[in-house]
Chains A and B, each alone.
Chain A
Amino acid sequence: MAINKVAVIGAGLMGSGIAAHVANAGHDVVLLDIVPDGAKKRSELAMNAVERMLKTEPAAFMEKRTAKRITCGNIEDDLKLLADADWIVEAVIEKRDIKQAIYRLIDGVRKDGSIVSSNTSTTPCRDLMDGMDESFQRDFLITHFFNPPRYMRLLEIVAGGNTRADAITAVSEFADIKLGKGVVDCKDTPGFIANRIGTFWIQAAVVEAFKGTVTVEQADAAIGRALGIPKTGIFGLMDLVGIDLMPLVSKSLYDTVPENDAYRALYGEPELIVKMIAEGSIGRKGKGGFYRLNKDSGKPVKEVIDLATGNYSKALRLTPDSVRAAKSSPRKLFEHGDAASAFAWQVMSSTLCYAADLIPEIADTVVAADDAMKLGYAWKSGPFEMIDKIGAEWFAERLKAENRDVPALVALAAEKGGFYRTEQGRLQYLSTDGSYVTIERPAGVLLLSDVKRASKPILRNGSASLWDIGDGVACLEFHSKMNAIDPETLKLIGQSVAAVGKGYKALVLHNEGSNYSVGVNLGLALFAINVGAWPMMEDMIKQGQDAFKALKFAPFPVVGAPSGMALGGGCESLLHCDAVQAHAESYIGLVEVGVGLIPGWGGCKELLVRGLTGKSRGILGGGAMPVISKLFQTIGLAKVSRSAAQAFDMGYLRDSDRVTANRDRLLADAKARALELAEGYHAPEPQEIKLPGKSARVALMMAVRGLAKTRKATPHDLTVVDQLGIVLTGGKTDTTDAVSEDDLSALERQALITLSRDPLTMARMEHMLETGKPLRN
């Protein structure tokens, strides 16, 4: 059965976030809550939640207008709205009797075959189903989202004993394909997978840190980047999610885990934390937590709490020697032996052992546990991958040396040589019976990492590689730092066009970095500028233009498949593709103005041509001037889309471009699109357009000068957008001349060189490199 219409009961943080994300996926959704006492509007809880979500950051909606897909209501008047819902999600308070009361209400109105799920994070499925009708039980399961639902990729699914298989399949597929979630099947055990391990981990760190051998800062430095764990560490993470939630989660886990569970020995609530919660020091949403920003002296000073005294002092931001030595090698961190190292070892070794002891109790395979921690806690490696990184044998030996029990599964991995291995190019995991099992990807999932494991690149240099992804399609992968585009990347693009032309049908631009590309390697560009190597600069600009032009006019189709940021040159690479298959979470934009430059690798050119030849709804308008004005604003304000959906409005994507919700499906979708285009493909013809020239530029600048008078634009903004105006209006042309694409490229180059020589542009570039923020000079 297909899920089309969805309903969510409970308009709290999670319920409303789930509703918004269903709307993001293009489905209508009903959002209901109770009628509160003294309500002015009977559905105000749901309505307020939608209003709030339109304002909060990070945004719950991919586009503001998506909010219209949500129908708000209340459970007294609007239960009838559930009648045609295919899937009803309950996300109300964690009390079983209230939940069951809701289920009875739902059951009265829902249609046959509809599916009901709970977003509970603590109550076992069997408890929720206790006493419910068997027909309801057949349609019921747990769908545990993580906060915020749009951005956190994990969805834990727990089936009850009576849940029908096709209900599980329907929800899993919808969550996977439409919502883009990484679905992990869990057993009906306390805290499921991620929070069971995660809560233990946090508790272990808190207990250890309160022993006083490390400061809060040292603790967070130790349990952070070197382990592939987000830099918030433990205490920073608690500040982020809210310290007040911690006792609730840990208590409920304490109450529900088995009697002999290692977690029960660890459980406790330090007095300081009780006091902090009582005083409202509950983290970022309160008046600070383990860290706070002290603004007493005007300039905000980051302060950190002393766990022994509860007093705050200025954060030192020192990296412990062990963390410095470890770089990204966890074993080196554990071997170093200073206080931070000992802390990290204590916390992580007990957490990893705990996880190992829980297989198969909470999950059948180590893969499920690893996936859950990666998708739900943003660890780069799950616990078992981490043990492999440390070395399973080394890990077991050290545990033995410390007279600690070696979990059976760890001993097995130590004997076999790790939890994962590559066999004939296929990734395998160690099952509990000691055999290795090949990991099968679902249909429609193609991972570049799998391709890379199984083959050698067609071409490769330090910044990019070309891979054969099967069926005559090649994939160009960027892999420089932050996937910045440098001369090596451009060189490989040129070589790839030649190689694909000879032996392949189509090319896909894709990589598995957290960002597709942040654009030109700004450091390298600024360095060249500082050295005053203007001819070399011009060559580098030309090299980029030529590389992208080669993509555009190649005799085969090129499909861009971005995820995350595609900025500046990254965006320009997409603008030259025949089609883009974008991940829903794609943040696309031409941001050059922020560093005092303008798009010079064809960004201006491509958008102009699209606008004036009517290929993009975002910039289509009557005649040249409205298009130019719109582009002048988009590029002049360095607008970046906050989702793929928004990128259509901004003109970075065309109507013919498509979106994939699940990252893991992006490459397969892009490949399919490329093969579709390859049938009878003809390369595009170079276009000529007519542009208005100087008079239009003067008009554009008049508006900007007005902004400068009210200080909305800085003096250097004027200089930069003046150059942008020159390019967009065609330079010295007038409406009777035809302007070719190459003419536009030449204008871009000239403008870019002029701006590169401006010290104020250099200051902007430098500021961006040093602070990551634009300089308003």
Chain B
Amino acid sequence: MQTYKAPLRDMRFVLHEMLEADQLSKLPGYEDATADTIDAIMEEGAKFCEDKLLPLNRIGDEEGCTYENGVVRTPSGFKQAYDDFVGAGWQSISSDPKYGGQGLPALLNFVIEEMVCSTNLAFGVYPLLSRGAAALIETHASDTLKDTYLPHLTDGSWSGTMCLTESHCGTDLGLIRKKAVPGDNGAYRISGSKMFITGGEHDLADNIIHLVLAKLPDAPDGVRGISLFLVPKVNVKADGELGPRNGVSCGSIEKKMGIHGSATCVLNFDDAEGYLIGEAHKGLRCMFTMMNGARLGVGMQGLALGETAYQSATAYAKERRSGKSLARGADSGEKADPIIVHPDVRNMLLTARAYNEGTRALAYWTALKLDISTKHPDAEVRRDADELVQLMTPIIKAFLTDRGFEAANLAVQVHGGHGYIAEHGMEQLVRDARIAQLYEGTNGIQALDLVGRKLGMKTGRLLRHFFHPATAFVEAHQEDEALKDLVLPLAKALGKLQQATLVIAQKGLGDPEEAAAVATDYLKMFGLVAIGYMWLLMAEKAAKKANGNADGDARYYANKMKTARFYMYKLLPESASLFLRIMTGKTAMAQFDEDDF
């Protein structure tokens, strides 16, 4: 059975103790974001997700979406849940108050998103897409478009999509064929087909706002010639009321591995009316500004499923009896002990847990910087925060979704054969988790983004925002009795990461393929070290409170320290083997000709 209680204690620890997130309430516009408010909203969010979304998760998986004559129906209960969700304001936590949003930090929204996706990923992608579309419109569209569309996207009465992929091109958007031609009144006429459009058609909202990449007739070749258009499913009249249907229709929905409750559509545009967002030919640049937020969101999905997997597997491991504990010996009095006594099972559970807690810290840390990057009064502080977010985005997207998938897989393993059958819901987690490694740019693309773009940007200045605080922390705590045994392994791994970074940068200048060949290894190594740094930051806080009696909160802190140790000694060392792989470069791969395959 999928078991989930929102890990509120851990969330509060990261937010309040590690990150001191109430610093956000000192930023202009975030005055309401006090610790108390944040806690209250989190508790309400937890209730909503546990009570309303979790029960629908299996139903959604089994029923899936259905398609008939261009109409898509979501699984039973989704429409009601969606109405409750937007009705309670969960859609608009961090939206602009100007358009009816609550104006709370993006960080808080990420926390809620984690809970939503932990309990029902297929449901969670609908509001996620709407928020992405709204963010893009808010940053780049004209005031008229903003005034017409943002209030509805904010209150959830309308939803949004991103239409990038075409049947012949996904990642390589330079190949897009979809056409847009100028029409009347400054509008454009859009024609062509798009696929893999999440939430492209459904019965949850009154209108669907598609953000579409297409090419104008005079567009230059390649990625420099793509424009961005807003195309509503239902045309909006001048008075703001809904008018006739626009020329957009859903041709079919995909049968897929997981997230069955989410509609993945083929959309056909037939002379549909659309409006240009931003400058002509510069649509991709607009699209990228929302990519950071969206990629962080997908990273959270990995963490979210990892958490549910861990909780479910732990519950099962405490209950299921099989074999005797090697530690306790034969005289425990039981015929069989719960399987949690077995080292292999513990290792699996602790692996998932250490990654979950570590990646949560990394994701929230980055989300906090995202808020600082938009709200801080000092331009230099904003810039530095933004650069950290840019650096961490590919790592969070890829590393967290890989770890989430691994956790789901481990949860199946802990369940044994029971993990493989549908009844316990573990195989669903594996299937659902798989998509997060693919969409919003595959994890391979994230790795290329990291080594190809982020590393070299501003001669490595983005790196400074991670490496300088991390090295400073290590230097400051090398002799710290309470942390010493945790600092040492990280200091070593960090040194190797610095070395690997310099080598990749140097080699990559002469031969970009050298950098590309080790990109995935490097991203993982960076992720491992970054999580290690997060564990140090957490341990620093926990160490002070871990002493004393072993129950209640003190036990929580003591467990933090133990998990930190597990991470440093059992998980972080993988970075050493990644380092060796990176240093060998591309030769072992590049020695093959295409015909050798």
Interface residues of A, Cβ cutoff 8 Å to B: 462, 523-524, 526-536, 762, 765-766, 769-770
Q: Which applies to chain B's interface (DSSP): helix, strand, loop or mixed? A: helix
B458 CB–A CB distance under 8 Å:
yes
Given A526-B460, A530-B463, A532-B498, 10 new contacts (CB under 8 A): A526-B459, A530-B460, A530-B461, A530-B467, A531-B464, A532-B468, A532-B471, A535-B495, A536-B498, A766-B459
Q: Is the CB of B459 within 8 A of A527?
A: yes
Q: Is the CB of B461 within 8 A of A531?
A: no
* Residue in B470, B506, B510 whose CB lies within 8 Å of A532: B470
Q: Is the CB of B510 within 8 A of A531?
A: no
Report 13 cross-chain contacts, Cβ distance below 8 Å, ordered by A residue: A524-B506, A529-B464, A530-B459, A530-B461, A530-B467, A531-B460, A532-B468, A534-B471, A536-B502, A762-B461, A762-B464, A765-B459, A766-B458
Name the A residues within 8 Å of B462 (CB-CB). 530
B501 CB–A CB distance under 8 Å:
yes
Output the least CB separation between B209 and chain A (Å): 34
Name the A residues within 8 Å of B461 (CB-CB). 530, 762, 766
Q: Is the CB of B464 within 8 A of A523?
A: no
Q: Is the CB of B502 within 8 A of A532?
A: no
Output the least CB separation between B504 and chain A (Å): 11
> Which residue of chain B has the shortest Cβ distance to A524 in the bound complex?
B506
Chain B residues numbered 430-479 whose CB sits less than 8 Å from any CB in chain A = 458-464, 467-468, 470-471
* Residue in A462, A523, A535, A536 whose CB lies within 8 Å of B459: A523
Name the A residues within 8 Å of B502 (CB-CB). 527-528, 531, 533, 536
Q: Is the CB of A532 within 8 A of B459?
A: no
Docked Cα-Cα span, A526 to B467, in Å, equals 13
Docked Cα-Cα span, A533 to B505, in Å, equals 14
Docked Cα-Cα span, A770 to B456, in Å, equals 13
> Which residue of chain B has the shortest Cβ distance to A522 in the bound complex?
B459
> Which residue of chain B has the shortest Cβ distance to A481 in the bound complex?
B509
> Which residue of chain B has the shortest Cβ distance to A528 in the bound complex?
B502
* Residue in B464, B499, B506, B510 whose CB lies within 8 Å of A530: B464
Q: Is the CB of A532 within 8 A of B467?
A: yes
Output the least CB separation between A524 and chain B (Å): 7
> Which residue of chain B has the shortest Cβ distance to A526 in the bound complex?
B459
Q: Is the CB of B499 within 8 A of A533?
A: yes
What 3 pairs between A and B have smallest CB-CB spacing? A530-B460, A532-B467, A532-B471
Name the A residues within 8 Å of B468 (CB-CB). 532
With contacts A462-B510, A762-B464 taken as known, whether A531 is within 8 angstroms of B459 at the C-beta atoms is: no
Q: Is the CB of B464 within 8 A of A532?
A: yes
> Which residue of chain B has the shortest Cβ distance to A535 in the bound complex?
B495
Output the least CB separation between A535 and chain B (Å): 8
Name the B residues within 8 Å of A531 (CB-CB). 460, 463-464, 467, 498, 501-502
Output the least CB separation between A616 and chain B (Å): 36
> Which residue of chain A has the shortest Cβ distance to B459 in the bound complex?
A526
Chain B residues numbered 492-534 whose CB sits less than 8 Å from any CB in chain A = 495, 498-499, 501-502, 505-506, 510
Q: Which applies to chain A's interface (DSSP): helix, strand, loop or mixed? A: helix
Docked Cα-Cα span, A769 to B461, in Å, equals 12
Name the B residues within 8 Å of A528 (CB-CB). 502
Name the B residues within 8 Å of A765 (CB-CB). 459
Docked Cα-Cα span, A744 to B463, in Å, equals 32
Docked Cα-Cα span, A475 to B425, in Å, equals 73
Per the CB 8 Å criterion, the residue count for chain B at the interface is 19
Output the least CB separation between A224 and chain B (Å): 21
Name the B residues within 8 Å of A529 (CB-CB). 464
Docked Cα-Cα span, A528 to B500, in Å, equals 11
> Which residue of chain B has the shortest Cβ distance to A534 in the bound complex?
B471
Name the B residues within 8 Å of A766 (CB-CB). 458-459, 461
Q: Is the CB of A527 within 8 A of B471?
A: no
Q: Is the CB of A769 within 8 A of B499?
A: no
Output the least CB separation between A498 and chain B (Å): 24
Docked Cα-Cα span, A583 to B462, in Å, equals 42
Name the B residues within 8 Å of A769 (CB-CB). 459
With contacts A524-B506, A766-B459 taken as known, whether A536 is within 8 angstroms of B499 at the C-beta atoms is: yes
Docked Cα-Cα span, A523 to B509, in Å, equals 11
Docked Cα-Cα span, A277 to B470, in Å, equals 63
Docked Cα-Cα span, A715 to B502, in Å, equals 31
> Which residue of chain A has the shortest Cβ distance to B463 in the bound complex?
A530
Docked Cα-Cα span, A744 to B464, in Å, equals 30
Q: Is the CB of B460 within 8 A of A527?
A: yes
Docked Cα-Cα span, A403 to B461, in Å, equals 56
Docked Cα-Cα span, A530 to B458, in Å, equals 10
Q: Is the CB of B498 within 8 A of A533?
A: yes
> Which residue of chain A has the shortest Cβ distance to B220 in the bound complex?
A321
Output the least CB separation between B458 and chain A (Å): 6
Docked Cα-Cα span, A535 to B495, in Å, equals 9
Docked Cα-Cα span, A498 to B505, in Å, equals 30
Output the least CB separation between B470 and chain A (Å): 7
Name the B residues within 8 Å of A532 (CB-CB). 464, 467-468, 470-471, 498
Name the A residues within 8 Å of B506 (CB-CB). 524
Name the A residues within 8 Å of B505 (CB-CB). 527
> Which residue of chain A has the shortest Cβ distance to B462 in the bound complex?
A530
Docked Cα-Cα span, A762 to B462, in Å, equals 12
Output the least CB separation between B329 and chain A (Å): 49
Docked Cα-Cα span, A531 to B464, in Å, equals 6
Output the least CB separation between A490 and chain B (Å): 14
Output the least CB separation between A467 and chain B (Å): 23
Docked Cα-Cα span, A765 to B460, in Å, equals 12
Docked Cα-Cα span, A106 to B468, in Å, equals 74
Docked Cα-Cα span, A374 to B581, in Å, equals 49
> Which residue of chain B has the shortest Cβ distance to A540 in the bound complex?
B502
Output the least CB separation between B514 and chain A (Å): 13
Name the A residues within 8 Å of B463 (CB-CB). 527, 530-531
Output the least CB separation between B523 and chain A (Å): 16
Docked Cα-Cα span, A747 to B169, in Å, equals 58
Docked Cα-Cα span, A535 to B458, in Å, equals 22
Name the A residues within 8 Å of B495 (CB-CB). 533, 535
Docked Cα-Cα span, A167 to B86, in Å, equals 97
Docked Cα-Cα span, A276 to B226, in Å, equals 40
Output the least CB separation between A153 and chain B (Å): 33
> Which residue of chain A has the shortest Cβ distance to B455 in the bound complex?
A527
> Which residue of chain B has the shortest Cβ distance to A486 in the bound complex?
B506
Docked Cα-Cα span, A535 to B464, in Å, equals 16
Output the least CB separation between B120 and chain A (Å): 41
Name the B residues within 8 Å of A530 (CB-CB). 459-464, 467
> Looking at A523, A531, A533, A765, which has the most chain B CB atoms within 10 Å of its CB?
A531
Output the least CB separation between B19 and chain A (Å): 22
Docked Cα-Cα span, A676 to B590, in Å, equals 52
Name the B residues within 8 Å of A536 (CB-CB). 498-499, 502
Docked Cα-Cα span, A532 to B464, in Å, equals 7
Docked Cα-Cα span, A770 to B471, in Å, equals 26
Docked Cα-Cα span, A462 to B501, in Å, equals 20
Output the least CB separation between A715 and chain B (Å): 16
Output the least CB separation between B55 and chain A (Å): 49
Docked Cα-Cα span, A766 to B467, in Å, equals 17
> Which residue of chain B has the shortest Cβ distance to A527 in the bound complex?
B460
Output the least CB separation between A455 and chain B (Å): 25
> Which residue of chain B has the shortest Cβ distance to A533 in the bound complex?
B498
> Which residue of chain A has the shortest Cβ distance to B221 in the bound complex?
A321
Output the least CB separation between B99 and chain A (Å): 35
> Looking at B464, B470, B499, B501, which has the most chain A CB atoms within 10 Å of its CB?
B464
Docked Cα-Cα span, A523 to B457, in Å, equals 11
Output the least CB separation between B415 and chain A (Å): 43
Docked Cα-Cα span, A762 to B458, in Å, equals 11
> Which residue of chain A has the shortest Cβ distance to B458 in the bound complex?
A766
Docked Cα-Cα span, A770 to B459, in Å, equals 9
Docked Cα-Cα span, A532 to B495, in Å, equals 9
Docked Cα-Cα span, A523 to B468, in Å, equals 18
Output the least CB separation between B22 and chain A (Å): 27
Docked Cα-Cα span, A530 to B460, in Å, equals 6
Docked Cα-Cα span, A524 to B510, in Å, equals 13
Output the least CB separation between B248 and chain A (Å): 34
Docked Cα-Cα span, A278 to B398, in Å, equals 65
Output the least CB separation between A7 and chain B (Å): 54
Complex interface bits, B129-158 against A, C-beta within 8 A gives 1, otherwise 0: 000000000000000000000000000000
